[in-house]
Structure 1
Amino acid sequence: MSQLFHNAAPNATRVAPPLPQPRQYPAHKPDQVYLFGTCVVDLFFPGAGMDAIRLLEREGIRVHFPQDQGCCGQPAYTSGYTGEAREVARRQLALFAEDWPVVVPSGSCAGMLREHYAELFKDEPELHARLKALAERTYELAEFLLHVCKVQLQDQGPQTQVALHTSCSARREMNTHLHGRALLAQLAQVERVEHDHESECCGFGGTFSVRMPDISGAMVADKTRALQACGAAQVVSADCGCLMNINGALEKQRAALRGQHLASFLWQRTQPRARTE
Structure 2
Amino acid sequence: MSRPRLSFEFFPPRSLDASFRLWETVRELAPLDPAFVSVTYGAGGTTRQLTHEAVTTIGSHYWVSVAAHLTCVEASREETMAIVDGYAKAGVREIVALRGDAPQGTDRFTPHADGFASSVELIEAIAARGDMQVRVGAYPEPHPDSADTAADVAWLKRKIDAGASSAITQFFFEADTFFRFRDACADAGITAPIIPGILPIQSWEGAKRFAARCGTAVPAGLDEAFATARRDGREQLLATAICAELCDALIEGGVEDLHFYTLNRPEMTRDVCAALGILAAPRLEAVA
TM-score bin, normalised by smaller chain: 0.3 to 0.5
Q: Which has the higher contact order (CA 8 A, sep 6+)?
A: 2
Q: Taking structure 1 as the reference length, what is the TM-score of the superposition?
A: 0.32
Q: Taking structure 2 as the reference length, what is the TM-score of the superposition?
A: 0.31
